[in-house]
């Protein structure tokens, strides 16, 4: 417990709130970096996922690619890209964008797929154009699963951003690695606690968002009875 | 390629280290998750508590967890035990939900029929419910195996040797081939474990061979790092 006391003392130490290595600055870096990565990944994955979900084409390919990407170790991708582009923030941006795409893509197309086909047929029957169907039916009904995908991606990016400090002077991970170098366990432990708290806080925020984006008139979660379990648990983990 | 040929011994040694680090979490998490998942499903209150706990545990990033564990369990920071325990915890976090979902997927009629035939709760669990939820469990274990093999590499940044050491070493010395060799070997090992699980599933659950495998009801995206 002494170790935790020293870690908390490190977190509260005023010396760690000034200069270029200040805790708030590192948290800010961590968050901005994660946000930008998620925006990049979303810009690629959401339109693509909606296209796959709406047309039903290319699903097999998307599933295989996402599955394959899961097997690739983050650290390997990170170090490889860092060797290519040099030490700095570019490598983490590239590597993490690649990693964040599969969960968002999966959230986007499974969100569309989980919708009852009869609902979409009904929308078509009342004269909606394809674009209207996407905008007014599929998009709102698929939103909870998309948010679920974004939630997985966010957790993954926050976690991997810590690792990114191995190749760049970036975010809370710096404390872990500089502590490791100087054998300062209080710094390592304090930094670790901050990352864990950040991840849990975001997890909580996403859990709330996910509850609020279910459109009015839709009872509970999307999908029909047997699919409900699959869909909702995959989204809510 | 020349680097790979000149260092086959090193790659093989790191692969063995990797197996030693990744196999225990995969096995232990299953052994712990089955009773825990059963308990989670059994009572409404325990379900909420255990599944929420598992969800939160799953949200904890792996590298910080490896740093925090020594302070909790008193191991040394560089001990491989930290990596094994951290990965076991992730496996449990994922599998508890899968086990609960798998047991849920067993038809209530089947369960009642088994009781009517005279199965005790204990034997009904082992002989009816567990085998019938097998395909769901298998799907979950495949996710656990692949993500565990991938996550073991993270330990390399604090000096726990595995195929991940090829990444850190290759990065520091600027040898691209070393990193690529590590990537290929890690993915190959993951596929090998995955294949072994599929094979085990076929042997243990011969009745599933002709049916299409069920969609896994697990979060398929695993927080990496």
Q: What is the CATH number of the domain that holds B141?
A: 1.10.3720.10
Query: Which of A106, A188, A234 lies nearest to residue B67, judging by beta carbons?
Result: A188
Q: What is the pLDDT of residue B217?
A: 52
Inter-helix orientation angle A139-164/A173-182, to 10° = 20
pTM for this model (two decimals)? 0.83
Give the span between the Cα atoms of A53 and A57, in whole angstroms.
8
Q: Is B109 exposed, middle or buried (0-12, 13-18, 19+ CB in 10 A)?
A: exposed
Residue B218 to residue A233, Cβ atoms within 8 A? yes
Predicted confidence at residue B205, as pLDDT, reads 86
Q: How far is B36 from chain A (nearest CA, A)?
A: 17
Number of domains in chain B: 1
DSSP A56-88: --SHHHHHHHHHHHHHS-HHHHHHHHHHHH-SS
Q: Are B60 and A156 spatial neighbours (Cβ–Cβ below 8 Å)? A: no
Contact B72, A2 (CB under 8 A): no
Q: What is the CA radius of gyration of chain A?
A: 21
User: Between chain A and chain B, how many beta carbons pairs sit less than 8 Å apart?
Assistant: 172
Nearest Cα to Cα of residue A171 among A78, A32, A73:
A32
ipTM value for the complex? 0.81
At B152 the pLDDT is 93
pLDDT at A237: 34
Taking a C-beta distance cutoff of 8 angstroms, is the pair A77, A95 a contact? Answer: yes
Q: Rounded to an integer, what distance in angstroms lies between the CA atom of residue B218 and that of residue A224?
A: 18
Cβ atoms of A140 and A115 closer than 8 Å: no
Amino acid A135: pLDDT: 86
What pLDDT does residue A234 have?
38
User: Is residue B175 within 8 Å of residue B44, measured between CB atoms?
Assistant: no
* pLDDT of the residue at B84: 93
Cα distance from B35 to chain A (closest Cα, Å)?
A: 19
Q: Are A162 and B63 in contact (CB under 8 A)?
A: yes
Q: How far is B119 from chain A (nearest CA, A)?
A: 27
Q: Do residues B157 and A177 make contact, with C-beta atoms less than 8 angstroms apart? A: yes
| Cβ separation B77–A75 shorter than 8 A | no
Cβ-defined contact of A156 to B174 (cutoff 8 Å): no
pLDDT along chain A (237 residues), means of 10: 81 81 87 92 90 84 77 88 83 87 88 86 90 87 88 88 86 87 85 90 88 71 41 36
Judging contacts by C-beta atoms under 8 Å, the chain A residues touching residue B147 are 70
CATH of A24-236, one of 3.40.640.10, 3.40.630.10, 3.40.50.300, 1.10.3720.10: 1.10.3720.10
Residue B78 has which token pair?
A: 């560089």
* Count of C-beta atoms within a 10 Å radius of residue B122: 8
Contact at CB, A185 and B104, closer than 8 angstroms: no
- Residue A219: what pLDDT? 56
Q: What is the pLDDT along chain B (225 residues), one digit of tens a residue?
A: 788 888 888 899 999 999 999 999 999 999 999 999 998 888 888 888 888 899 888 888 888 898 888 888 888 888 889 899 999 999 999 999 999 989 988 888 999 999 999 999 889 999 999 999 998 899 999 989 998 999 999 999 888 899 999 999 999 898 889 999 999 999 999 999 999 999 999 998 888 776 555 555 555 444 444
Handedness of CA A170, A96, A87, A32 (dihedral sign): negative
Domain borders along chain A are 24-236
In a domain, B67, yes or no: yes
Look up the domain containing B75 and give its range.
Answer: 2-100+135-205
């Amino acid at each position: 417990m002494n170790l935790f006391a020293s870690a908390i003392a490190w977190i509260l130490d005023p010396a760690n709130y000034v200069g270029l290595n200040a805790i708030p600055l590192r948290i800010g870096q961590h968050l901005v970096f994660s946000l930008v990565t998620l925006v990049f990944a979303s810009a690629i994955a959401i339109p693509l996922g909606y296209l796959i979900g709406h047309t039903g084409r290319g699903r097999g390919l998307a599933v295989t690619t996402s599955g394959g990407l899961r097997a690739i170790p983050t650290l390997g991708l990170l170090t490889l890209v860092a060797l290519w582009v040099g030490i700095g923030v570019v490598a983490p941006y590239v590597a993490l964008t690649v990693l964040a795409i599969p969960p968002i893509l999966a959230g986007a197309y499974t969100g569309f797929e989980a919708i009852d086909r009869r609902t979409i047929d009904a929308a078509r029957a009342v004269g909606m154009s394809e674009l209207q169907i996407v905008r007014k039916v599929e998009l709102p009904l698929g939103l909870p699963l998309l948010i679920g995908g974004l939630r997985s991606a966010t957790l993954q990016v926050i976690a991997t951003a810590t690792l990114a400090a191995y190749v760049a002077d970036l975010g809370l991970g710096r404390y872990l690695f500089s502590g490791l170098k100087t054998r300062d366990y209080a710094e390592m432990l304090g930094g670790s606690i901050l990352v864990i708290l950040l991840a849990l806080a975001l997890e909580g925020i996403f859990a709330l968002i996910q509850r609020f984006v279910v459109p009015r008139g839709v009872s509970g979660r999307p999908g029909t009875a047997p699919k409900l379990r699959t869909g909702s648990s995959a989204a809510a983990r | 390629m020349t680097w790979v040929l000149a260092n086959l011994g090193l790659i093989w040694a790191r692969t063995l280290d990797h197996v030693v680090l990744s196999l225990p979490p995969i096995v232990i998490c299953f052994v712990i998750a089955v009773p825990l998942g059963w308990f989670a499903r059994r009572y409404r209150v325990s379900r909420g508590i255990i599944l929420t706990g598992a969800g939160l545990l799953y949200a904890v990033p792996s590298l910080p967890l490896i740093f925090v564990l020594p302070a909790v369990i008193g191991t040394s920071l560089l001990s491989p035990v930290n990596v094994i325990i951290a990965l076991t915890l992730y496996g449990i976090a994922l599998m508890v939900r899968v086990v609960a979902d798998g047991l849920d997927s067993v038809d209530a009629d089947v369960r009642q029929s088994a009781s009517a035939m005279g199965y005790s709760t204990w034997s009904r669990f082992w002989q009816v419910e567990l085998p019938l939820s097998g395909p769901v469990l298998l799907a979950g274990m495949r996710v656990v195996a692949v993500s565990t093999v991938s996550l073991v590499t993270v330990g390399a940044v604090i000096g726990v040797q595995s195929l991940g050491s090829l990444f850190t070493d290759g990065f520091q010395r600027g040898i691209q081939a070393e990193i690529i060799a590590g990537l290929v070997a890690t993915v190959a090992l993951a596929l090998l474990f995955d294949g072994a699980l599929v094979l085990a599933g076929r042997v243990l659950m011969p009745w599933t061979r002709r049916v299409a495998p069920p969609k896994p009801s697990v979060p398929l995206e695993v927080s990496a790092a």
